[in-house]
Amino acid sequence: MEGTIYHTNTAGALYSLYITDGIFLIFELIDNCNLSKGDIIKTSAQGLGDVLLYNVSTGIGFEAYLDNFVVGESFAKKACQL
């Protein structure tokens, strides 16, 4: 799975990853890692929970907790507490 960082909430370290067709993956960082809106992120995870993600834009891998899938930008904003 691959997507683009769309929303960032650095206070709570919550992010949304735009996948396709209005589908967003909400995740929380476990590692200390700098992510920016527009970064391309890859994962081979098949479900939610603790996973390794890879930032294609920077070439750095990191741990995250995949929290939820939501449909629609307004739901992604709400899930990221924006």
Render pLDDT for 22-74 as a digit per residue (tens, 0 to 9): 999 999 999 888 899 999 999 887 889 999 999 999 999 999 999 999 999 99
Q: What angle do CA 80, 77, 81 make, to 5 degrees?
A: 40
* Confidence (pLDDT) at 24: 96
What is the number of structural domains in the chain? 1
Confidence of residue 2 (pLDDT cuts 50, 70, 90): very high
Helix (H, G, I), strand (E, B) or coil at 20: strand
- 55 conformational bin, left if phi > 0, alpha if psi -120 to 50, beta if neither: beta
Structural domain containing residue 71: 2-79
Q: What angle do CA 81, 30, 5 make, to 5 degrees?
A: 55
For residues 82 and 79, what is the distance between their CA atoms, to the nearest angstrom? Answer: 8
